[in-house]
């Protein structure tokens, strides 16, 4: 049997576009002699549809789409993911399903058994788990059809009490097909390949795997669809961060001679290369799917805004990203000059607005109420908020989306100003630690200097008071980021951190800053997720909690 894998960038709720892409792939597969073409989990609706699933109209449109797609499946079969209605009175109203379409109609429907309800996943909120197991027979071939998480209950610490493939293997399938919506993080390609190979090793039959590609707000999908033969050998892997299409013959699964997608990244810097491409895709898709074309950002002369600008230019084109320099009386000359050099390197438009006059106007208005109290945090934050107001005014006037430039280290410890440098429509670096920001800048400059060297090497500073440096308020970033990573990603407590050799006072101060600044993170823009534990929907903490605060 010839099986086509169609790795497609879907758009949540855009039924016309999703269906047309699916039909186009069906035609391509049929014209190429394929017997079956496979699409991803919830392909019709896009993933994750979230509370759209609570609308009958949305579900009806999914059903209409399946009926429409089925009419194109003559002389070829297709597997297409879609929500379906649960006819039973008890349980959730929907299943997360895979449709097997052939002969112009729905031939079979298989439902997802294991519904993830952790990190960014909320599937048990909407779907009823499957409890019946049967293979699909087509052209004298037996197919074990599963959906994403159904293959992930195979590690040393299983989350579920049932394993779908344990139920299906007794029916002697010839191969497995798994349709997935598995979000990206910088470790995911390794984790995914390991899990899929464990399944092949356990069950001894080939596996065909199709994943989503593209960005859905903060969730990024890297693709990486693949085929593994019955001996556990990777036959081929589809592109990362791009749509792709490939056909395989089950009777002749030979390893591809083409370079694997992961090999395009430097062997010693795969993580940074993946993060770079994920962020560029995330920015591009966010704008495309919202129907916007132009971005704006405040360019401070620091490395975070410089990196954000470079990524945005790569995603949207230099002519579509406006940089605004907003120097105050505390801004250094080199910050403005470094920004100008970067803008020249990119060929990107820019404006400069000096905020000192606006700051003095606010200072004059507040003077009777501030009662001659000394300059402090209020005055520092006032500068950041003036910048935020000006950037949002330009956004409103000209239809730009404001890109937030704060990094994960700053977001973690609250080193940012609400309604000032924390405002924006999309947070590009909110899941990228400061040390990773430096790594990305070096990666971008690996062939030629795009980000001026002085931006990378000078001590980080908010420049809100004379001679200010980030290290005045925070531990050095190489120490801070290690503590934050162990606490946020690895869930290590203060005792464990101190035992690792971190200074006790620094640990306690850092964890207190993280936990007492949850209220700020609840008010930030959506953050492009590149790590296994990002701020946002995947990390849910109480604002008023007392733990470590």
What gap in Å lies between CA 24 and CA 47, rounded to an integer? 20
Beta strands in 9-69 (DSSP E): 36-38
Tokens of 296: 């704006």
Radius of gyration of the chain (CA): 26
112 is catalytic: yes
Contacts of 546 (CB under 8 A, 6+ apart): none
Q: Pick the closest to residue 179 from 84, 65, 38, 48 (CA basis).
A: 38
Rounded alpha-carbon distances, angstroms, from residue 187 to 17, 115, 412, 533: 31, 22, 21, 11
Cα dihedral sign for 277, 282, 285, 291? negative
319 is catalytic: no
Kindly report the number of other CB atoms within 10 A of residue 293's CB atom.
Answer: 14
Choosing from 21, 30, 41, 463, which is the catalytic residue?
41
Choosing from 21, 30, 112, 289, which is the catalytic residue?
112
Query: Would you say 152 and 185 are in contact if contact means Cβ atoms under 8 Å apart?
Result: no
Rounded alpha-carbon distances, angstroms, from residue 340 to 49, 318, 352, 451: 42, 14, 10, 11
Residue with tokens 């079969």: 77
Segments in 231-355 forming alpha helices (H): 270-290, 303-316, 333-346
The torsion region of residue 101 among left (phi > 0), alpha (psi -120 to 50) and beta comes to beta
What gap in Å lies between CA 18 and CA 425, rounded to an integer? 25
Kindly report the number of other CB atoms within 10 A of residue 415's CB atom.
Answer: 21
What gap in Å lies between CA 34 and CA 38, rounded to an integer? 11
Contacts of 275 (CB under 8 A, 6+ apart): 186, 432, 436, 440, 530
Helical (H) or strand (E) element with 146: strand 141-147
The single-letter DSSP state of residue 246 is E
What gap in Å lies between CA 84 and CA 102, rounded to an integer? 18
What gap in Å lies between CA 355 and CA 151, rounded to an integer? 56
142 is catalytic: no
Length reported for the chain? 549
Tokens of 180: 């997935």
* Vertex 487 angle, CA 478 and 273, to 5°: 55
What gap in Å lies between CA 340 and CA 347, rounded to an integer? 10
Residues taking part in catalysis = 41, 112, 148
């Amino acid at each position: 049997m010839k099986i086509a894998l169609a790795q497609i960038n879907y758009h949540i709720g855009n039924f016309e576009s999703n269906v047309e892409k699916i039909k186009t792939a069906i035609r391509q597969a049929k014209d190429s002699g394929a017997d079956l073409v496979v699409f991803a989990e919830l392909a019709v609706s896009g993933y994750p549809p979230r509370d759209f699933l609570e609308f009958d109209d949305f579900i009806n449109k999914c059903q209409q789409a399946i009926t429409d797609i089925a009419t194109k499946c003559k002389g070829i079969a297709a597997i297409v993911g879609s929500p379906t209605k649960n006819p039973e009175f008890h349980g959730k109203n929907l299943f997360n399903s895979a449709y097997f379409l052939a002969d112009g109609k729905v031939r079979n429907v298989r439902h997802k058994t294991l519904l993830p309800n952790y990190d960014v996943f909320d599937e048990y909120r909407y779907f009823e788990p499957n409890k019946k197991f049967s293979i699909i027979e087509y052209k004298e071939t037996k197919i074990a059809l599963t959906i994403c998480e159904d293959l992930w209950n195979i590690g040393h610490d299983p989350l579920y009490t049932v394993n779908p493939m344990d139920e299906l293997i007794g029916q002697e399938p010839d191969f497995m097909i798994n349709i997935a919506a598995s979000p990206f993080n910088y470790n995911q390609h390794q984790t995914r390949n390991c899990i899929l190979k464990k399944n092949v090793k356990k069950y001894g039959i080939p596996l065909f795997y199709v994943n989503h590609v593209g960005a859905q707000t903060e969730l990024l999908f890297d693709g990486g669809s693949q085929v593994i033969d019955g001996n556990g050998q990777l036959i081929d892997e589809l592109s990362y961060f791009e749509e792709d299409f490939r056909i395989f013959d089950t009777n002749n699964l030979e390893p591809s001679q083409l370079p694997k997608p992961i090999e395009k990244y430097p062997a010693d810097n795969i993580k940074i290369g993946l993060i770079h491409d994920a962020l560029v895709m995330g920015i591009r898709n966010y704008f495309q799917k919202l129907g916007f074309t132009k971005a704006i950002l405040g360019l401070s002369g620091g490395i975070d805004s410089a990196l954000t600008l470079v990524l945005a230019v790569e995603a949207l084109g230099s002519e579509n990203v406006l940089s605004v320099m907003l120097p105050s009386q505390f801004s250094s000359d080199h910050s403005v000059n470094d920004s100008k050099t970067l803008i020249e390197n990119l060929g990107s438009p820019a404006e400069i607005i000096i905020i000192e006059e606006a700051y003095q106007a606010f200072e004059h208005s507040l003077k009777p109420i501030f009662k001659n109290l000394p300059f402090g945090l209020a005055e520092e934050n006032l500068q950041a908020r003036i910048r935020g107001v000006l950037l949002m005014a330009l956004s409103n006037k000209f239809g730009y989306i404001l890109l937030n430039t704060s990094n994960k280290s700053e977001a973690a410890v609250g080193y940012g100003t609400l309604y000032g440098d924390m405002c924006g429509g999309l947070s590009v670096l909110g899941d990228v630690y400061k040390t990773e920001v430096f790594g990305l800048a070096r990666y971008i400059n690996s062939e030629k200097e795009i980000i001026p060297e002085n931006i990378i090497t000078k001590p980080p500073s908010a420049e809100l008071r004379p001679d200010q440096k980030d290290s005045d308020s925070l531990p050095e970033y190489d120490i801070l980021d290690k503590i934050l990573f162990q606490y946020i990603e690895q869930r290590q407590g203060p005792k464990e951190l101190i035992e690792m050799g971190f200074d006790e006072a620094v640990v306690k101060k850092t964890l207190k800053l993280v936990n007492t600044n949850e209220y700020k993170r609840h008010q930030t823009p959506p953050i492009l997720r590149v790590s296994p534990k990002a701020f946002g929907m995947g990390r849910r903490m109480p604002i008023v909690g007392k733990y470590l605060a």
